[in-house]
A = this chain, B = another copy of it.
Amino acid sequence: MVAQVRRFNRVVTQQVGALNDRFLARDRPLGESRLLWEIGADGRDVRSLRTALDLDSGYVSRLLRSLESAGLVATEPSGADRRVRLARLTDAGRAERRLLDERSDELAALLLATLPERQRERLVAAMAEVERLLTAATVRVAPADPDDAAARHCLRAYAAELNARFEGGFDPARSIRADAADLRPPAGLLLVATLHGAPVGCGALKLHGAEPAELKRMWVDESARGLGIGRRLLAELERHAAEHGAPAVRLETNAALTEAIALYRSAGYAEVPAFNAEPYAHHWFEKPLPPQA
Chain A residues proximal to chain B, CB less than 8 Å: 1-9, 11-13, 15-17, 20, 104-105, 107-109, 111-116, 119-120, 122-124, 126-131, 133-140, 228, 231-232, 235
Contacts and interface: CB of A to CB of B under 8 A. Distances in A.
B17 A17 contact: yes
Number of copies of this chain that the complex holds: 2
A201 to B, nearest CB: 14
A107 B3 CA distance: 11
Contacts of A124: 1, 4-5
Nearest to A120: B1
Shortest beta-carbon contacts, A-B, top 6: A5-B108, A126-B129, A8-B127, A123-B133, A17-B17, A2-B108
A127 B13 contact: no
A123 B132 CA distance: 9
A128 B2 CA distance: 11
Given A8-B128, A9-B20, 4 more contacts: A9-B108, A12-B16, A12-B134, A122-B133
Given A119-B136, A130-B126, A112 B12 contact: no
Given A126-B133, A131-B12, A133-B122, A232 B108 contact: no
Contacts of A108: 2-3, 5-6, 9
Contacts of A235: 116
5 contacts: A1-B120, A7-B131, A11-B135, A15-B138, A122-B133
A17 to B, nearest CB: 4
Contact of A17 (B4, B13, B105, B109): B13
